[in-house]
Every structure is written in C-alpha cells, then in structure tokens.
Amino acid sequence: MGEEFYCILKLVSGEEIFSLVMVDENEGDPIIILQNPVMMKSYQNYQGMHIKIKPWIEMSSDDFYMIKLDKVITMTESKDQNLINIYENYIEDDDSTEVHYSGGRVKPSEKMGYIASVEDARKSLERIFKDLKES
C-alpha cells in the first residue's frame, strides 16, 4: 500500500471527487481506496466565492470506498491547504450532510449567539405564546 494523500479525481461517470486517497497495487491491478470522499462545487455570487460540499455517496454511512483505476479519467494530488482545511472541517462535523463554505467566514457557535436550531426555537416560542394566551 502506498502513502495517503489528498486527491481530486475525475471519474468516467463525470463526477469530481475530493478525498484522502491511498493506492493499493493489487497484483498489477491497482485499486484506489477513498476515505470520506466528497463532492465539492465552487460557485461565485455578489458576496464572493463559495464552496458547496456533500458526501459522494449520500445514503451510506461507510467511510472507505474502493474503486478500480479503469473508472478514473484523471487524478491529481491536492496540496491546496485551504481546500484541505475545508475538507477536514467538513469531515469533523459529523451531523452535516451538505455544507456551504464561504471564503474566510466561520460557522456561528453558541459563543457567538447561536443557541438553538430553528426547530428548537420554534417550539420554545410556541410554548411562550401558549403560556401568554392562557394567562
């Protein structure tokens, strides 16, 4: 087995994948092992450049996938530290299914004033409203 490296792959299906990759030389038939592969899409609007990230296979809870080299059109090692940091932050955030990153922006936290989800806030406000009506 070779060393791990961050890689961008273009598959014959047309998908572009970013992943931590290791190549296994399997008796002359290399297999590419992908760890937590994601699909990244960059787009730009009036607020700047953004990156949309989602899992490569959305309905699976697996972290590792194997693909044969004949399914890959091209692959290139990525040494872009900004892209690697975005990927690692996404992987560390276990409950995310799709994330949007903007250049230089951070996610709100409880310390910054983000104290509840929309659903929790809605339930709390409904409870307060019902209490006021009953009084």
Residue ranges of domains in the chain = 5-107
Q: Which two tokens stand for residue 24?
A: 């296994």
Query: pLDDT of 59-106, one tens digit each?
Result: 888 889 999 988 999 999 998 888 888 888 888 875 555 555 555 555
Confidence at residue 96, expressed as pLDDT on a 0 to 100 scale: 55
**Is 5-107 a CATH 2.30.30.100 domain?**
yes
Q: Label each residue of the chain as H, E or C.
A: CCCCEEEEEEECCCCEEEEEEEEECCCCCCEEEEEEEEEEEEEEECCEEEEEEEECCCCCCCCEEEEEHHHEEEEEECCCHHHHHHHHHHHHCCCCCCEEEECCCCCCCHHHCCCCCHHHHHHHHHHHHHHHHHC
Confidence at residue 30, expressed as pLDDT on a 0 to 100 scale: 85
Confidence at residue 98, expressed as pLDDT on a 0 to 100 scale: 54
Q: Which residues contact 49 (CB under 8 A, 6 or more apart)?
A: 42, 43, 102, 103
